Structure 1
Amino acid sequence: MPGGIVVAVLTVVVLVLGCGGLWLSRRHTLDRRVGSFRCRLRSGTRWPGGVAQYGAASLYWWRSASLAPRPARRWERQSLAVVERRAAEAPDASGQLVVRCQARSNGRPVEFELMLSPEAYAGLTSWIEATPARVGSVI
């Protein structure tokens, strides 16, 4: 029996280390992509952290606490508009901005909020404004 316990413990340790390694690799890869920035997405009353990335036709968002290879959210660039910007009020969000956006996701209209740095906000608005035939999409 003691040999079985040792094998079980070693299996658990290997699985935990493997998942941790995958998570670190995923996080490193997402942070280093061109056009990526860290931000938080409002989910009810919570603000889970993640990484957003500009694509040619969409804005993608991946959860930080996940091993998923695909983004958790995707919004169409052509329909993306910033409708409100304000300073974040959370105690741990000093200097951050909250932007309320409207877009289409999977063909349906959606509204969402992102908490991001002023630099990331400048990048987001520049990316939106660079879309052809855009008028009045950024405040």
Structure 2
Amino acid sequence: MPSALASFEIVIGTLLVIAVVVLAATFLRRRYIAHGLPLTLCGLRPTETDRWHLGLIRFGEHALEWYTLGGVSLRPKHRWQRQSLLLTAPRRLPRAEAIAVLPDAYRVVCTDRAKTFELALQGPAYTALRSWQEAAPPGYNVNVA
């Protein structure tokens, strides 16, 4: 019969192994999602809700892809084609809506066909998004307001 100390050591060891596995999975998922493309932290809010959802946004070759921050899925939860994405002017996020991990974020209202949503991005990430949108290949019908 194992002693209480041995049981305690087994529990602590198991928790440490689980923590290492979760951290490694998170790191590997982020590396896989990035695939060498720009990836940044972003908030997403559909217009019908008041809640921001944190995630990772990737500027792909032809589409903007949004991945949930947690989880194990390697597929984007949302995907918006560059040629159908309309961005409005950014507005600083009010303090009442502030997101702790995105200090001084900007809110950008976006429209993709008939769907409207908002993105919360920090200054450099917003600049990257605007540059990505404006740098569309020739022949794309890009709408930048």
- Does the pair score TM above 0.5? yes
Q: CA deviation at 1:16?
A: 6.5
What is residue 101 of structure 1 aligned with on the other side? 110
State how far apart, in whole Å, the 2-side matches of 1:20 and 1:115 are: 26
**Unaligned runs of at least 5 residues, structure 1:** 3-8
1:138 is aligned with what amino acid?
V
What is residue 39 of structure 2 aligned with on the other side? 36
Identity across the alignment (%): 31
Q: Secondary structure at the match of 2:144?
A: coil
1:97 is aligned with what amino acid?
Y
TM-score, structure 2 normalization: 0.71
CA pair 20-94 structure 1, distance change in 2 beyond 3 A: closer
The structure 1 segments of at least 4 consecutive aligned residues displaced by more than 2 Å after TM superposition are 9-21, 27-34, 90-94, 132-135
Aligned residues: 134
What is residue 68 of structure 1 aligned with on the other side? 73
Q: Secondary structure at the match of 1:42?
A: strand
| Aligned residues of 2:90 and 2:107 also touching (Cα < 8 A) | yes
Answer with 1 or 2: which has the greater Rg: 2
State how far apart, in whole Å, the 2-side matches of 1:95 and 1:138 are: 23
Q: CA deviation at 1:42?
A: 1.1
Q: Secondary structure at the match of 2:127?
A: helix
1:102 is aligned with what amino acid?
T
TM-score, structure 1 normalization: 0.74
